Chains A and B, each alone.
Chain A
Amino acid sequence: MKKRYLSTGNEACAEGALRAGCLFYAGYPITPQNELIAYMAVHMEGRGGVFIQSESELAAINMVLGSSAAGVRSMTSSSSPGISLKQEGISYMAGCELPGVIVNVMRGGPGLGNISAAQSDYFQATKGGGHGDYSVIVLAPANVQEMFDLTFDAFALADKYRTPVMILSDGMLGQMMEPLEFDEEIKPQGIIEKPWAMTGAANRSAQSIKSLYLGDGALEALNTKLQKKYEHIRTAECKSELYKCDDADIVLVAYGSIGRIARSSIDDLREKGIKAGLIRPITLWPFPYDEIKKVSKKAKKVLVIEMSAGQMVEDVRLAAEDDSKISFHGRTGGGVPTEKEIVEEVKELYA
């Protein structure tokens, strides 16, 4: 039976993880993700899992490395500066092919920045983040419901591809409260055998989990294998939402909470007689290049809106054939492009 709750995004994310069968969480306090770690502290043990407040972000991601290696669905969460600290561990997870879910409730940077919402970790999330040639699947929720739904899905994706998956949220989405609805009987999806797990060499040979490959050509072979996997993910897992794009003269591209604000401005613009549409990437890696290419071909203008100095816009430029169609509107350091601001920007472009 479906039940409705009033929930913050951070708590919806935590509940989505628990419903997906996450049985290990380690984290460290940082604003604006604190509701998430607190929710896990309250609920994890009662659901039979392990909660640890670690001594650092480094320890948290490495605890996840260990529990994931044991075959258990595992998660850590943080906000931007803490996610920077986790990058070493994420790189090891990618190299060791260990599943796991990492939540980034983004705040303003660089450095300590501030605790307001931002989208300035897009490059870090989608272009690797740590050292080495690797990618993590990046999911971008746009409301509290998606904080639950995408986190729920993230665990199955992580297990399926033996890869870290990142939920790229922001301080606004994390802390806002909205209705959340899910089936009380919902069961973990995509549960698979993990014969690679470190569970002891009983009735099988001893195993190791590692990212160190010293032999001639051995590391290149691992990288070839990883790239093949990433290529498959690119073709199989790309997701985006298209809103009124069919006849659009001007197409907005925005993700996360800005995707949602942009969507409201579409209706406003349509009322003013401007044929506007929206592409909202849901997976930021893999990025929906094909959708954007298709839609931008028909449109006269493409406007990318972000809470950053312009990061996703580079991927949109890669996707669109005609670079001259593309313009960018961004705010940084906690500034949020408003619906009115977006409408004004579009009107200017349209004039």
Chain B
Amino acid sequence: MPKFEKPRSMKDVATHYCPGCGHGLIHRLLCEVIDDLGVRETTVSVAPVGCAVLAYDYWDFDTMEAPHGRTPAVATGLKRVMPDKLVFTYQGDGDLAAIGTSEIIHAGNRGENISVIFVNNGVYGMTGGQMAPTTLKGQTTATSPHTRRVEKEGYPLKITEMMAVLDGVAYLERTSVDSYANIIKTKKAIEKCFRAQLEGKGFSMVEILSPCPTYWGMSPVESMERIRNEVVKEYPLGVIKG
């Protein structure tokens, strides 16, 4: 009988993430993919500023830090001088879609042969659940106490759709971790994303809709239902490019 074990690429340590958080799940998925592709020894990743800042505590491959939002620029420097390595960034919605908008768009536009795992949970988890560019209309957060009103706080930013118009971008997909079926789809998308880089196709990114029970003020189960019932309406799942 097959045993359920930790991937080789994952360290055997206790998690600091909140109960019901999607990061641990996504960490595991990408570690499984790295194992499947046999690239653990040639992988260099860049962790963001945000909840996943301590990613190197969990991943058993080389991982470095980047200033907030500059993650794709750091990855660009790494990849250009080490074209034979698998270089990926792991970024939240604040890191990628707010402070790092410039870096992600230009890395995509240059067709940098890097991969991006973009975890969208619609809030700044690390700093206390503030409004993110991806926060849904009508959502209450620490900095949108009157809910997100489009006339004052603007609209949820669909950055993955924006990236699709860039010629340098090879592959874009949006997935979710709300159900078993979608978790399997997410793993497949991460694999496609990494393969695109290994095949030298250019910039590739998976946006993963992920729960933040702590700052959504919900139980883990309710959070998964919210993704299913509300979040996917704003951020439809599927291959966006490639």
Contact = CB atoms under 8 A, between A and B. Distances in A.
Interface of A: 23-24, 26, 50, 52, 54-56, 58-60, 62-70, 72, 74, 88-89, 92, 96, 198-203, 206-212
Contact of A58 (B62, B63, B64, B73): B73
B61 A200 contact: yes
A202 to B, nearest CB: 4
9 contacts: A54-B106, A58-B102, A62-B73, A69-B64, A92-B67, A198-B63, A199-B44, A209-B65, A210-B56
B81 A208 contact: no
B76 A66 contact: yes
Main secondary structure of the interface of B (DSSP, over half): helix
B77 A74 contact: yes
Nearest to B62: A198
Contact of B56 (A55, A69, A208): A208
B80 A59 contact: no
B150 interface: no
B42 interface: yes
Contacts of A58: 70, 73, 102-103
B60 interface: yes
Interface in B58-88: 59-67, 70, 73-82, 85
A74 to B, nearest CB: 7
B172 interface: no
Main secondary structure of the interface of A (DSSP, over half): mixed
Contact of B42 (A24, A54, A202, A210): A202
Given A55-B102, A59-B102, A89 B76 contact: no
B53 interface: yes
Given A55-B106, A59-B106, A198-B44, A66 B74 contact: yes
Contacts of B73: 54, 58-60, 62-63, 65-66
A206 B70 CA distance: 22
A211 B110 CA distance: 28
Given A24-B77, A198-B44, A210-B56, A65 B66 contact: yes
Contacts of B77: 24, 26, 62-70, 74
A96 B46 CA distance: 14
A207 B63 CA distance: 7
Contacts of A59: 70, 73, 76, 102-103, 106
B67 A88 contact: yes
B23 interface: no
A246 B119 CA distance: 66
B148 interface: no
B40 interface: yes
Contacts of B75: 66
Contacts of A203: 41
Contacts of B214: none
B43 interface: yes
Nearest to B69: A58
Interface in B108-142: 110
Contacts of B106: 54-55, 59
Contacts of B110: 52
B47 to A, nearest CB: 8
A1 B102 CA distance: 46
Contacts of A92: 65-67
B81 A23 contact: yes
A172 to B, nearest CB: 31
Contacts of B42: 200, 202
A129 to B, nearest CB: 14
A201 B61 contact: yes
B54 to A, nearest CB: 8
Given A201-B40, A201-B61, A202-B42, A65 B74 contact: yes
A66 B63 contact: no
A169 B102 CA distance: 29
A206 B62 contact: yes
B65 A62 contact: no
B81 to A, nearest CB: 4
Nearest to A71: B81
Given A67-B81, A198-B44, A62 B64 contact: no
Given A55-B102, A89-B67, A199-B82, A63 B74 contact: yes
A198 B102 contact: no
Nearest to B79: A66
Contacts of A210: 56, 64-65
Nearest to B46: A66
A200 B43 contact: yes
A96 B78 CA distance: 15
A230 to B, nearest CB: 22
A139 to B, nearest CB: 23
A67 B67 CA distance: 15
A91 to B, nearest CB: 8
B78 A198 contact: yes
Nearest to A55: B106
Contacts of B78: 66-67, 69-70, 198
